[in-house]
A and B are shown apart, each in its own frame.
Chain A
């Protein structure tokens, strides 16, 4: 579901305040869509998600992407599975970055 950032009839809809880094992006399309590509991509994504878990800051969309990757791999579609795993890795790393940057950043919103 998306949140449309729009102002309607004077009420201020909520603006998503996002400044995150997306580390890594879809690799070039011509890589051989072999299973091993998927497995390396999935391992990286899983490692990043583990770290997010340690920081108690996982995202639902990361888990959905990981599940999608597993499902695609199960159906033998290793191209799609690899891309989804890379997507998951990017999301997991973003959530890790968010947790680390918020370690201090939360203070500037605090009511004083």
Chain B
């Protein structure tokens, strides 16, 4: 199955800008389905980005991050063609990782 993580990493002038969109329901646990049952909480808790074996960004998320979550950050370093490893784990223990090339 294709990865749930879409990444756009662009190196420019020594700084790499990273945009990520992840396919995930991000259920908060506060919403009821049509027959009134609470939809159990199911959301990504930690998302990490690694470049050159070093963590460049760690996102810890609670129940208030939008469905199909998006985050943008940038870091010094990173050149065209480098690998960027991205991985997440959610409160149900599911994980997904992907490695992309910096453009």
Direct A–B touching, Cβ under 8 Å: no
